[in-house]
Amino acid sequence: MPTPRILPSIDQLRQRPGICALEAEYGPSAVLSALRAVAGTLRQELAGPAPPVEDRQQAALAIEQRAARQLEQAFAPSLVPVINATGVIVHTNLGRAPLAPAAARRVADMAAGYTNLEYDLTEGQRGSRSVHAEQLLAQVTGAPASAVVNNNAAAVLLTLAALASGREAIVSRGELVEIGGGFRIPDVMRQSGADVREVGTTNKTRTADYAAAISDRTAVILRVHPSNFRIEGFTERPALDELVALGRRFEIPVVEDLGSGNLLMPPEEAGIGEPLVAASVAAGVSICCFSGDKLLGGPQAGIIVGDQDLVSRIRRHPLMRALRVDKMTYAALEATLLEYARGRAKTTIPVARMLHTTAEAIGRRARALVDGLAGHPLFESDVVVGVSTVGGGGAPGSAIATRLARLTPTDRSASGLESRLRRLRTPVIARIEDNRVLLDLRTVLPEQDEQLIESLRTLA
């Protein structure tokens, strides 16, 4: 009967070409730990009733192969690319907006070396990172000044900390929303040091309610776009220009949290109902805050635009250093904004392109996918009518007409098929309805179509 003595020593194993290659890839320390762990496991198996190897050569090969698999798993990154076939355009769980190719290239260029992030090339001395993207933001929003932080919640927090700490921020009860992940607008407001002064009711707030609450402690009027829910029926909300007029009458800044950062589409287009940033700026709002990675289609960022004096106060606040963004965020943001400035965002920014793509165009791609999967042993496929949605906490209830590739399993459940899609080398994230797997190519990048077909063909 084989005994543990057939195991080669660790020193002998490290002389093998395969092990030397593993050390070159993963480092000697990690490989040594893996060899010891695998050898220990194999030693226990050799003492059992069904030893997996019979001689030293087999044992050495088994240890090498197991160690290679263990190292591959241990060193595999947890963050991996996936194919989003859910039809949710701004999918928070999948990283929200995919960057435009120009933005991705710009990030790679800036990440690989030094930059003038905080260096004034004209004066030859230290500069400010806040100047980056400012001119482009002014061009696409109409606001004279801007600041960029790491997300929109941070933008609201910093704005209120700079403008309203120790004083009151007036906000409608109907706008005290939860913004996702359990974070709530009133909690963010309180963390800024501002006192929350609620006015109106859940469904009705009038300009007179704001006016009645104004006192010598009032620092700002906060307007929050309730982008992640909708109240219908017996409702009332002041028009933006009414709040702006009220703020001017009492010399109180109006701060608007716009959420999604719509720079391109009028609210009536595609039924998204998301106000344009430029429209709020034009209406006279003092400060607007919005996200960089939602409808704008850029990197995760919180963008603050508005009056020069107020933005300067925001930039000088101590929290600005804690919330500021790095060179890669600025690189991606500038490259994204350039696409808007050049008038080609509808075709070059993935989120914008997905919103504007017709159902007929999606249908042609879905038909090509179904044709490429004809005769698959695990499922039948066809094209059906369906809807996509904006996602990302924006445009609640949005339903954008689309076409879906429907996969009907032949001998197993849809959940089993969907699970196998998630375990592909490049995971495919789909949705299930009526025990069928649905693939919405609206959110699949066109250059991923062939990869998707080939991945699905490998399922057997």
- Percent of the chain clearing pLDDT 70 (strictly above): 95
| Coil, helix or strand at residue 127 | coil
Question: Do 276 and 184 share a domain, yes or no?
Answer: yes
Q: What is the mean pLDDT of the chain?
A: 92
294 exposed, middle or buried (CB, 10 Å; 0-12, 13-18, 19+)? buried
CB-CB contact of 46 with 3 (8 Å): yes
Domain boundary among 308, 343, 378: 343
The whole domain housing 54 covers 4-75
402-421 average pLDDT score: 94
What own/partner pairs with CB < 8 Å and gap ≥ 24 does 383-388 have?
384/438, 385/359, 386/87, 386/438, 386/440, 387/87, 388/87, 388/88, 388/89, 388/354, 388/440, 388/442, 388/443
Question: Do 142 and 57 share a domain, yes or no?
Answer: no
Question: Do 137 and 61 share a domain, yes or no?
Answer: no
Q: Which of 295, 289, 342, 276 is nearest to 136 (CA)?
A: 342
pLDDT at 355 over 80: yes
Q: φ and ψ at 89, to 5 degrees? A: -70, -55
Question: Do 291 and 365 share a domain, yes or no?
Answer: no
Query: Within a domain: residue 95?
Result: no
Q: Can you give the CATH number for the domain in which 448 is found?
A: 3.90.1150.110
pLDDT at 244 over 80: yes
State which H helix or E strand residue 57 sits in. helix 56-75
pLDDT of res. 1? 45
Query: Within a domain: residue 21?
Result: yes
Question: Do 208 and 247 share a domain, yes or no?
Answer: yes
Question: Do 224 and 140 share a domain, yes or no?
Answer: yes
Beta strands per DSSP E along 13-167:
83-84, 88-90, 119-120, 125-126, 145-149
Query: Within a domain: residue 349?
Result: no
Question: Do 11 and 132 share a domain, yes or no?
Answer: no
- The pLDDT confidence band at residue 227, using thresholds 50, 70 and 90, is low
CB-CB contact of 160 with 168 (8 Å): no
Beta strands per DSSP E along 4-130:
83-84, 88-90, 119-120, 125-126
Question: Do 173 and 65 share a domain, yes or no?
Answer: no
Question: Do 316 and 167 share a domain, yes or no?
Answer: yes
Query: Within a domain: residue 333?
Result: yes
Query: Within a domain: residue 374?
Result: yes
352-370 average pLDDT score: 96
Q: Can you give the CATH number for the domain in which 127 is found?
A: 3.40.640.10
Query: Within a domain: residue 96?
Result: no
Q: Which of 447, 293, 264 is nearest to 365 (CA)?
A: 447
406-422 average pLDDT score: 93
83-91 average pLDDT score: 96
Question: Do 41 and 184 share a domain, yes or no?
Answer: no
pLDDT tens by residue, 123-146: 999 999 999 999 999 999 999 999
pLDDT of res. 176? 86
- The pLDDT confidence band at residue 60, using thresholds 50, 70 and 90, is very high
Q: What is the number of domains present in the chain?
A: 3
Question: Do 32 and 146 share a domain, yes or no?
Answer: no
Which range of 44-48, 214-218, 256-260, 269-273 scores highest in mean pLDDT? It is: 214-218
Query: Within a domain: residue 128?
Result: yes
Residue 380: beta bridge partners?
A: 408
Residue 180: beta bridge partners?
A: 183
Question: Do 188 and 271 share a domain, yes or no?
Answer: yes
Query: Within a domain: residue 348?
Result: no
